[in-house]
Structure 1
Amino acid sequence: MRRRQPALGGSVKNWLTLLVLGLTGFAMLVAWVYVVPPLRGRLIDQKLADARANARLISETVGQWVRYDPATGLMVDQPSLRRTVSDIAARLGGRVVLFTRTLVPREDSGGQEPVDVSQYPMLLRAVTEGTVQQGVVGTLARRRAATAVPLFTAATGRTPVAVVLVVTPLDDVENAVQAVQRQLFFATILALGASLLLGYLASYFIARRLKRIEASAEAIAGGDLSATVPVSGEDEIGQLAATFNVMAQRLADAFAQVEQERDRVEVLLNDLSEGVIGLAADGRVAIANPAAASLLDRAVPEGVPVEELLPDDVVDVWREALAEGVAQIVVFERGERTLEATAYPVTGSAGFTSIVVLRDVSAQARLERARRDLIANASHEFKTPLFSLSGSLELLDEGDLSPEEQREFLQVMRQQVDRLRNLAVAMLDLSRIEAGAFELHPEEVALGDVARSVLDEFLAQAQARQLRLEVESDPAHTAWCDEERLAQVLRALVDNAVKYSPEGGRVVVMTSADDDTAAVSVSDEGPGIPPEELPYVFERFHRGAKERAKTSGAGLGLSIARELTRLMGGSIAVTSPRGRGACFTVRLPRRAGRREAAAGGGRRGGAPDGRRAGSG
């Protein structure tokens, strides 16, 4: 930004210099007014005071040559009087004139012009009042101090018989005053010169400090929020610089906070799993986060019309939200995803007038489908054993069966009751987990002992299918968990492995441990889990397509196993190389207080946290 140069009178430096000159000139003027006129007055007063002090001497000296006769009037010794008057005039450096009481001059020490009595009013006052009278007479160019001294005789008492007028020039007073005026003039010239120099230097340094503040202000205006002003003193400018630095720091902090908030919002938008699309009033994209492009499986550039970006039903909902001023929601399919779009208007000056939020509800949609399947499966699962039980009871009630046939029907009835009980227990466990009412009793548990106990429960099934059940464990492999719930988890995993293992196959339960966690893995030699099924294996009510045709169950076993493992502070994961069976791994803490390590150790890594269709 180009700096505008100030006019000559607009510069702070020039103004300060002129101000100092003006103040100096005004001070010298005040000094002249205070010194010169009073000095002249004091010198004149001193002159008159000296003349008054000599009045008595003059009266006595002149009076000795003056006599008064009432008959003949004033009589004087002319030669002696003339000599005395001349001596007094010489001593006082002025003019001495003797007047009669009628103001007629009788003797004059000399002068170029006769005395004009009208110019000396003090003569009449001296005769009338009988006292010494003084004053200043003459023009401004030629002023004189005049003293009228009355003369008395013994015959007249206090009545003056004559008056002596002493006139002294005031040239010495004027010379002294003019000398003082010259000194003041030269002092004024010197003071103005010095003040000009000092004022310029002072204003230069003050202006330079102000220019630093101006330069810093311009730097901040240009975007450099780190600009500061050197604080070179504790005066007002130094305080201004310090205050400016505080303001600059607060401004920088405010901008940093704004930047931080912007970055936080940007990070939040970028990290959101939901897609956020800001639309301008004309329906064009103003802003979009990466999740929007990911969910829509296409780029979302700025300026693209909403009609080209979203399906017609979403566009209709967006227009409806703008028209009614309330949020509108619609669910639509996008490839293999089920997305939920929420459109609502916004206010402000962010560059967009509405927002469309996209959320992947594929899991919820699958859950809803799974719930519907559960209802159907549960109805089927409950209906089949109930019908079987009803038929068996009718046959038993008829009483036409042999003992052997009755035992067979009772065995069938027991199997159907077991199916009903297992389904009811699974649904009850799941509801208790969801309600947070599942109680655990953790303790140090030997993993190998629990594994052997669970495998013993499946020996009859394994022998029927010629399966080998093996345990590879070390007695030192222990975990901090609820033994009964761990057995329930392993029971679901082993049941799954036995169910999907081919005849003559092998099911292996293996334990391992480190300082923080212990692990139990259950592996089989079955067909494995299709890759597309892996992400959903642990979801509730989920059963694979092949499993629904080949096996029974509600799809709750693995889901319950996962929830129980999490309640014990652990995790469960699965790996399934194509065509090489599946391996489920349960990780648990070895000691109390190690829940985080155990849970972290079993998070999804290279393999998804899933399994094939859960067993009932």
Structure 2
Amino acid sequence: MEETKTIHELEQELAQAKKQVSGLELQLEETIIQLEEARDTIHAIHSGEVDALVIRSEGNTQLYTLKGSDETYRIIIEQMTEGAMTLDREGLVVYSNSRCATMISTSIERVTGQLFRSFVTPTDKALFDRLFAEAWETPVKAEVNVFDAAGKTIPVLLSLNTLILDDGTYLSVIMTDLTLQKETQQLLQEKNIQLEEAQEVARGLNQNLEKTVLDRTRELEISVLQKTLAEKELRSSREQLARILETMIEGVQIVTPDGRLNYANPMAQKLMGITATEGQEYLDPGYPKFKMDGDPLTREEDPVHRVMATGKPVFDFEIGVQPPGKDKFYLSVSAAPLMDENAQVIGSVATFMDVTNRRKVIQQKDEFISVASHELKTPVTSLKASLQLMNEVKDKGNPELVSKLITQANKSLTRLSVLIEDLLNVSKIRGGQLMLNKRAVSIYELVTACCEDLHQEKRFNIRVSGPQKLHVDADPDKLEQVLVNFLNNAMKYAADSKDIEIRITQPDDHVKVSVIDQGMGIAPDKVPHLFDRYFRVDNSGTQYSGLGLGLYISAEIIRKHGGQIGVESTPGAGSTFWFTLPLRH
């Protein structure tokens, strides 16, 4: 039976093999050092950098002086451990030392006069040809395989350099036998294989232990990784939450049970007039707060403290806030309790949303409903009175009075129709159902036609100026509605002025229609809101009839046409309402 070696024996053999390899590597390093020294020596000889050489051998030291004769060089070269040759331009060996002949197991006579290429193996001939060609330009070096006399392949390192002699230029070739180096490498590979086999046996013996260690390591790695990921995710969540809180358009506050501010984001600080200093009283300092009826908001009524007192959330609780020297604004407050693991209230979190615009819209709607009720009631009452009076006089033979009552009833119906039409137009605009029937329209003709319809108001002088051949693609009925609204406003708010001008101009590729009156003008703070829905101008306490929808509808009609609308007004100097439309091309 074949003896089975233990791992210990294999390791001892491997250690001994490593020592042998180390010894061979040291010998190889010494050989390489000797080669480098020999190359340096030859280079110094070629370049004339030395005048003499000291050759040491076992128990003997000889001194050679250089006097220009080839004999001295040959003695030195003959004693080299590397092969040395000289090649001519054809690649013929014109000189070879004995070491070179020994390497390829032949005599110097069989080497000299031969093409060195003939000693190169077929697989490396192309490589040698390239080296031979390049060496005439620059020194080259490479590993090449050559044959010996018995046909054995010998790995050698060739170093080629030009050599200038009296009779011409040659190639100096230094050939270093790499057989020992290659054998050392082979031995090292074999020892590595043995080492790998031994390691494989060890791995087999320790497989269970390694698997256990690996499993435990993986569990630990997974645990550490999970912890790291959790911490990273937590940091990311905190950073994301902080960014969200810092950029929210709603205010966010956290208050402790004793009423102190623990956190306030920038919007909360702005809305409530406080700073983010921890420990500050929630209700003091800050802007005064009021209930919707105008009474001050007490601590007990405040949603934040109410939540902590009851433990129940509060939603959409509206309060008023009065900053010093500024307009009052309104906030919607929602608050919820913060609980610990024992369901005990440890504070409250509240959000604040500015609902001032919402309050204004609600107020405008309330005012509009009141105005609309009044405006609709007036023509209905007038119509009812006319019909009742006609019913009383219909049999009394008074046709003039009946005719007058019918005319008055028709005016009331017309007024009622206009109000209803405005309401319907607003509904269409909000529903996106305002339709346009566009066609080519002459602006001048449209303006003059509107003026003719209004000439019944004899006390106004309406003058039209501007080019007469400007056309637009538009709905003529809708544009007439805008013009009539502008003119009616001029007559209503400039009743003391007799002159109204309609001016047509052409800025760039648009047409501009301006209605100019000489009335009392409009206050600057009212101008930005003229085209808002439900807005009604109240100058000097004077109330005018209307729903406050005419300019809003006009603005939507012009925007639907792709134009712009605006107003310019100076108090006491009149107003100019205008709109622009793209010209028809």
TM-score relative to the length of structure 2? 0.50
Bigger Cα Rg: 1
Pick the structure with more helix per residue.
Answer: 1
Pick the structure with more strand per residue.
Answer: 2
